[in-house]
Amino acid sequence: MSQMITLGVSSSISVYKSCEIIRELQKKGFEVRVICTANATRLISPRLFSALSGNRVGVDFFQNEINGKIDHIDWARKTDVFAVAPATANIIGKFAAGIADDFLSTFFMAVDCPVIIAPAMNEVMYLKPQVRLNMDKLKSLGVRIIEPGRGYLACGDEGWGRLAEPVEIVKAIQKALKEKSVLKGKTVLVTAGPTREHLDPVRFLSNPSSGKMGYALAEAALWRGADVILVSGPTHLLPPRGVTYKSVCSASEMEHEVKTAFAKTDILIMSAAVSDFRFADVSQQKIKKEKLPSQIKVVPTKDILKGIGSRKGNKVLVGFAAETENIKKNALKKLKEKNLDMIVVNRVDEKNIGFGADKNRVLFLSRDGKEIETETLSKEEIGRIVVEKIGEFVDEKNKKSGR
Ligand code: CTP
């Protein structure tokens, strides 16, 4: 069965190029379905899109619903990549704001596949801060933007805002499809969040990890086609749809789940902030304050990653390092001692990044000497970069072993 590309079309003069995009996609063997905004149909007839694509066109939400099926959901499930070309300032704004008031914008909310947006508009509109902010928001949510080119615009101006060429848009769609399957057939085990080491039922030792980084990694791995197992300490987050979720509390519970899942794992990403200590004695009842001991003994927990590293076989191990000083030196030591393939280092002493924050900046070190430092980005973006690097590593590894 050929892969389905859904093409969103909004009302820009460059709408004529959508026909060429459909043709190019069909030449590459893709099936195409078109969804237009009502305004786009004032420039071009949906009948043309229907004739070209050989599929019903989505325009009027309620008209389509009358056909007995919930089209926007049904079509979304069958879509491999959703590309919007041309995308106007209005549709970009709606997508960024989560407004779903017509077929196209509702479809965007319903898809669970890579989304590509190719804007087209007048240069002044394109450079408006509102449009830039909306595009930045969409980018941080994982939408790919194909920046428009510079040239003659329909309004008679010269400038930025010209819809990217159809071949470029088709190439971006093919790239997104390829990326989507980079980890297909692989099982990725991700650990996330803090652990809690209880002293009694109401008191525990923990750390400020929110789990956001690990959940973002799990989601990024899902998007690359992997089967994902997420072992998580206590967080306030919803597990990404499609992961096998294991909830744990203490380091020893996390160790148990990781060891159990490791047999079927190809890639372990250990991003959890595992407590290094636990209380030597745990009371089953709440300790009354007058009975609180003057000293409380702690003992080390097991280093889960180190234990796994000593018997990793052919599997890929990725660790995290939370550091406040001698960042690179400490991380390289952990990379070696825990027998890792890669380590992702994040500073935990800076405000606004790392522990508990929405953003992060990481240094990425691999056992083959590669070193990449990211800018400060959303944890979702960092997650995608880390998973992309893991994908490249797996690819190189396969090439070396002749697979
Ligand atoms: N880790 C683990 N088990 C532990 C402690 C840490 O598996 N008991 C893992 C973490 O998930 C992370 C890596 O080891 O992937 C490094 O954790 P980090 O806290 O940075 O370092 P530690 O090894 O605990 O050393 P230190 O706290 O002294 O820096």
Q: Is 394 in the pocket of ligand 1 (CB under 6 A)?
A: no
Is residue 26 domain-shared with residue 105, that is, in the same domain? yes
Domain's final residue, options 180, 215, 242: 180
Q: Is 304 in the pocket of ligand 1 (CB under 6 A)?
A: yes
Could you give the number of structural domains in the chain? 2
Distance of alpha carbon 238 from alpha carbon 389, whole angstroms: 25
Domain's final residue, options 180, 211, 231: 180
Q: Kindly report the pTM of this predicted structure.
A: 0.90
Cβ partners under 8 Å of residue 112, min gap 6: 76, 241
Going residue by residue through the chain, which has 403 residues, state the pLDDT in tens, using 9 for 90 and above.
799 999 999 999 999 999 999 999 999 999 999 999 999 999 999 999 999 999 999 998 777 655 667 888 999 999 999 999 999 999 999 999 999 999 999 999 999 999 999 999 999 999 999 999 999 999 988 999 999 988 877 777 788 889 999 999 999 999 999 999 999 999 999 999 999 999 999 999 999 999 999 999 999 999 999 999 999 999 999 999 999 999 999 999 999 999 999 999 999 999 999 999 999 999 999 999 998 888 999 999 999 999 999 999 999 999 999 888 888 999 999 999 999 999 999 877 777 777 777 888 899 999 989 899 999 888 999 999 999 999 998 888 878 877 6
Is residue 191 domain-shared with residue 175, that is, in the same domain? no
Closest CA to 193 of 320, 306, 314: 320
Cβ partners under 8 Å of residue 248, min gap 6: 195, 231, 232, 233, 254, 256, 257
Is residue 203 domain-shared with residue 320, that is, in the same domain? yes
Tell me the catalytic residues.
Answer: 155
- Per-residue exposure over 205-233, b if at least 16 CB sit within 10 Å of its own CB, e if not: bbbebbbbbbbbbbbbbbbbbbbbbbbbb
Is residue 156 domain-shared with residue 43, that is, in the same domain? yes
Is residue 291 domain-shared with residue 334, that is, in the same domain? yes
Q: Is 95 in the pocket of ligand 1 (CB under 6 A)?
A: no
- Domain hosting 386: range is 187-400
Is residue 247 domain-shared with residue 395, that is, in the same domain? yes
- pLDDT value for 67: 60
- pLDDT value for 91: 98
- pLDDT value for 157: 76
Is residue 253 domain-shared with residue 305, that is, in the same domain? yes
> Ligand 1: distance of its center to the CA of 361 in Å?
18
Is residue 210 domain-shared with residue 240, that is, in the same domain? yes
Is residue 162 domain-shared with residue 193, that is, in the same domain? no
> Ligand 1: distance of its center to the CA of 221 in Å?
22
Contacts made by residues 284-293, CB under 8 angstroms, sequence distance 24+: 284/200, 284/201, 285/200, 285/201, 286/200, 286/201, 286/202, 287/199, 287/200, 287/203
Is residue 337 domain-shared with residue 272, that is, in the same domain? yes
